[in-house]
Amino acid sequence: MYHLSEAYAMASFICLLCGYLGALIFAATATPRFATKHLDRAACGTLLAKHWRGAHKLAVIGGLVFTAVCALASGKTALPNAYALMLVSISGLMTISFYVSLQTLPTLSESPDGRLKFSNVILFFTGILTGLVLTAALVYVLPGQFTFWPTAQ
Protein backbone atom coordinates (compact mmCIF):
# COMPACT_ATOMS: atom_id res chain seq x y z
CA MET A 1 0.00 0.00 0.00
CA TYR A 2 1.36 3.39 -0.95
CA HIS A 3 1.39 6.35 1.40
CA LEU A 4 -1.00 8.65 -0.40
CA SER A 5 -1.11 11.09 2.51
CA GLU A 6 2.45 12.17 1.72
CA ALA A 7 1.54 12.67 -1.93
CA TYR A 8 -1.46 14.78 -0.92
CA ALA A 9 0.66 16.81 1.48
CA MET A 10 3.24 17.46 -1.25
CA ALA A 11 0.52 18.42 -3.75
CA SER A 12 -0.94 20.84 -1.18
CA PHE A 13 2.52 22.30 -0.56
CA ILE A 14 2.96 22.82 -4.32
CA CYS A 15 -0.43 24.56 -4.59
CA LEU A 16 0.35 26.86 -1.65
CA LEU A 17 3.77 27.68 -3.11
CA CYS A 18 2.21 28.50 -6.49
CA GLY A 19 -0.37 30.75 -4.84
CA TYR A 20 2.35 32.50 -2.83
CA LEU A 21 4.51 33.09 -5.90
CA GLY A 22 1.47 34.24 -7.90
CA ALA A 23 0.62 36.78 -5.20
CA LEU A 24 4.19 38.10 -5.24
CA ILE A 25 4.22 38.35 -9.04
CA PHE A 26 0.86 40.15 -9.01
CA ALA A 27 2.06 42.51 -6.28
CA ALA A 28 5.23 43.28 -8.20
CA THR A 29 3.58 43.96 -11.54
CA ALA A 30 -0.07 45.01 -11.28
CA THR A 31 -0.11 47.32 -8.26
CA PRO A 32 2.63 49.74 -9.43
CA ARG A 33 1.05 49.92 -12.88
CA PHE A 34 -2.36 50.68 -11.37
CA ALA A 35 -0.93 53.26 -8.94
CA THR A 36 1.01 55.19 -11.58
CA LYS A 37 -2.03 55.26 -13.86
CA HIS A 38 -4.61 56.48 -11.35
CA LEU A 39 -2.76 58.53 -8.70
CA ASP A 40 -0.81 61.76 -8.71
CA ARG A 41 2.96 61.65 -8.17
CA ALA A 42 3.02 62.37 -4.41
CA ALA A 43 0.26 59.92 -3.52
CA CYS A 44 1.74 57.31 -5.83
CA GLY A 45 5.16 57.57 -4.17
CA THR A 46 3.71 57.18 -0.68
CA LEU A 47 1.52 54.25 -1.68
CA LEU A 48 4.29 52.45 -3.55
CA ALA A 49 6.80 52.90 -0.72
CA LYS A 50 4.36 51.26 1.71
CA HIS A 51 3.41 48.65 -0.87
CA TRP A 52 6.99 47.59 -1.54
CA ARG A 53 7.75 47.34 2.16
CA GLY A 54 4.68 45.14 2.71
CA ALA A 55 5.32 42.97 -0.35
CA HIS A 56 8.93 42.38 0.68
CA LYS A 57 7.91 41.49 4.24
CA LEU A 58 5.31 39.05 2.89
CA ALA A 59 7.98 37.50 0.68
CA VAL A 60 10.40 37.03 3.58
CA ILE A 61 7.80 35.62 5.98
CA GLY A 62 6.44 33.26 3.33
CA GLY A 63 9.95 32.15 2.40
CA LEU A 64 10.72 31.41 6.04
CA VAL A 65 7.53 29.36 6.38
CA PHE A 66 8.28 27.32 3.25
CA THR A 67 11.88 26.77 4.33
CA ALA A 68 10.80 25.64 7.80
CA VAL A 69 8.21 23.26 6.35
CA CYS A 70 10.79 21.80 3.95
CA ALA A 71 13.30 21.38 6.77
CA LEU A 72 10.83 19.80 9.18
CA ALA A 73 9.33 17.50 6.56
CA SER A 74 12.71 16.34 5.26
CA GLY A 75 13.19 14.08 8.26
CA LYS A 76 9.77 12.45 7.86
CA THR A 77 9.59 12.03 4.10
CA ALA A 78 10.52 8.97 2.08
CA LEU A 79 12.50 11.11 -0.37
CA PRO A 80 16.24 10.48 -0.52
CA ASN A 81 18.23 12.69 1.84
CA ALA A 82 20.13 14.39 -0.97
CA TYR A 83 16.92 15.45 -2.71
CA ALA A 84 15.37 16.67 0.54
CA LEU A 85 18.55 18.69 1.23
CA MET A 86 18.31 20.20 -2.23
CA LEU A 87 14.71 21.29 -1.58
CA VAL A 88 15.67 22.88 1.76
CA SER A 89 18.64 24.62 0.12
CA ILE A 90 16.55 26.04 -2.71
CA SER A 91 13.87 27.35 -0.35
CA GLY A 92 16.58 28.80 1.91
CA LEU A 93 18.16 30.56 -1.08
CA MET A 94 14.76 31.98 -1.99
CA THR A 95 14.33 33.31 1.55
CA ILE A 96 17.83 34.81 1.64
CA SER A 97 17.23 36.55 -1.67
CA PHE A 98 13.98 38.08 -0.39
CA TYR A 99 15.61 39.10 2.90
CA VAL A 100 18.54 40.85 1.21
CA SER A 101 16.06 42.55 -1.11
CA LEU A 102 14.10 43.77 1.93
CA GLN A 103 17.29 45.13 3.51
CA THR A 104 18.18 47.08 0.36
CA LEU A 105 14.79 48.77 0.07
CA PRO A 106 15.12 52.52 -0.02
CA THR A 107 13.26 54.47 2.62
CA LEU A 108 10.48 56.86 1.66
CA SER A 109 12.79 59.85 2.08
CA GLU A 110 15.35 58.32 -0.29
CA SER A 111 12.80 57.50 -2.97
CA PRO A 112 10.01 60.08 -3.02
CA ASP A 113 8.46 58.64 -6.18
CA GLY A 114 8.33 55.06 -4.83
CA ARG A 115 10.78 53.62 -7.33
CA LEU A 116 13.07 50.73 -6.49
CA LYS A 117 16.77 50.40 -7.11
CA PHE A 118 17.74 48.06 -9.92
CA SER A 119 19.64 45.79 -7.50
CA ASN A 120 16.52 45.46 -5.36
CA VAL A 121 14.42 44.47 -8.35
CA ILE A 122 17.01 41.89 -9.42
CA LEU A 123 17.14 40.38 -5.91
CA PHE A 124 13.35 40.22 -5.61
CA PHE A 125 12.91 38.53 -8.98
CA THR A 126 15.81 36.19 -8.22
CA GLY A 127 13.80 35.10 -5.19
CA ILE A 128 10.72 34.59 -7.36
CA LEU A 129 12.70 32.61 -9.94
CA THR A 130 14.24 30.50 -7.19
CA GLY A 131 10.71 29.82 -5.94
CA LEU A 132 9.75 28.69 -9.44
CA VAL A 133 12.76 26.34 -9.46
CA LEU A 134 11.57 24.96 -6.11
CA THR A 135 8.11 24.42 -7.58
CA ALA A 136 9.59 22.63 -10.59
CA ALA A 137 11.70 20.41 -8.32
CA LEU A 138 8.64 19.49 -6.27
CA VAL A 139 6.50 18.83 -9.34
CA TYR A 140 9.29 16.68 -10.79
CA VAL A 141 9.39 14.39 -7.76
CA LEU A 142 5.63 14.15 -7.14
CA PRO A 143 4.74 11.57 -9.84
CA GLY A 144 7.86 9.49 -9.21
CA GLN A 145 7.79 9.54 -5.44
CA PHE A 146 6.05 6.19 -5.31
CA THR A 147 9.35 4.65 -6.37
CA PHE A 148 10.93 5.93 -3.15
CA TRP A 149 8.45 4.16 -0.89
CA PRO A 150 8.74 0.52 0.00
CA THR A 151 5.56 -1.37 -0.66
CA ALA A 152 3.75 -2.79 2.32
CA GLN A 153 3.98 -6.53 2.71
Tens digits of residue pLDDT in 117-152: 788 888 889 999 999 999 888 888 776 655 555 544
3-state SS, one letter per residue, for the chain: CCCHHHHHHHHHHHHHHHHHHHHHHHHHHHHHHHHHHHCCHHHHHHHHHHHHHHHHHHHHHHHHHHHHHHHHHHCCCCCCHHHHHHHHHHHHHHHHHHHHHHHCCCCCCCCCCCCCCHHHHHHHHHHHHHHHHHHHHHHHHHHHHHHCCCCCC
Tens digits of residue pLDDT in 1-53: 346 677 788 888 889 999 999 999 998 888 888 888 888 877 877 788 888 88
Tens digits of residue pLDDT in 40-81: 877 877 788 888 888 999 999 999 999 999 888 887 777 778
